[in-house]
C-alpha cells in the first residue's frame, strides 16, 4: 500500500469533519512510513485524549498497519484558536 500525506489528510478531513488537518511525512528518506498529524475537529469536543486518538486511529485503520511511526495531536477548534494566538 502506497501511503501519501495528502491522501491521509483528505481522509481525515472527510471522515472526522475536520476544520484543519496537517500531515507531515517524517520519514528521513520520505518513503512514507512515518507521519506526524495535527487534526482539529469539533468531534473531539468533550472527549479525553485517548478517545480522540482512537477516533483518528479508527479513521486510518486501513493505513496504520503500513505505518511504522505515527504521532498525532488532536485539538478542538477552541483549543486550536488558543494555540495559534500564542
User: Per-residue pLDDT tens for 57-81?
Assistant: 999 999 999 999 999 999 999 999 9
For residue 29, pLDDT over 80 is answered with: no
Predicted pLDDT of residue 27: 86
CATH number reported for the structural domain that contains residue 50 in this entry: 3.30.300.90
| 62, 65, 67, 71 alpha-carbon torsion, rounded to 10° | 80
For residue 35, pLDDT over 80 is answered with: yes
Task: Please state the pTM of the whole predicted model.
Answer: 0.92
The structural domain count of the chain equals 1
In this structure, are residues 57 and 64 in contact, taking their beta carbons and an 8 Å threshold? yes
Boundaries of domain holding 57: 5-85
Amino acid at each position: 500500500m502506497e501511503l501519501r500525506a495528502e491522501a491521509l489528510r483528505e481522509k481525515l478531513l472527510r471522515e472526522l469533519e475536520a476544520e484543519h488537518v496537517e500531515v507531515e511525512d517524517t520519514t528521513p528518506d520520505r518513503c512514507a512510513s512515518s507521519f506526524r498529524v495535527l487534526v482539529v475537529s469539533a468531534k473531539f469536543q468533550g472527549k479525553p485524549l485517548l478517545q480522540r486518538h482512537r477516533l483518528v486511529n479508527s479513521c486510518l485503520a486501513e493505513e496504520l498497519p503500513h505505518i511504522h511511526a505515527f504521532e498525532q495531536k488532536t485539538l478542538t477548534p477552541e483549543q486550536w484558536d488558543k494555540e495559534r494566538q500564542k
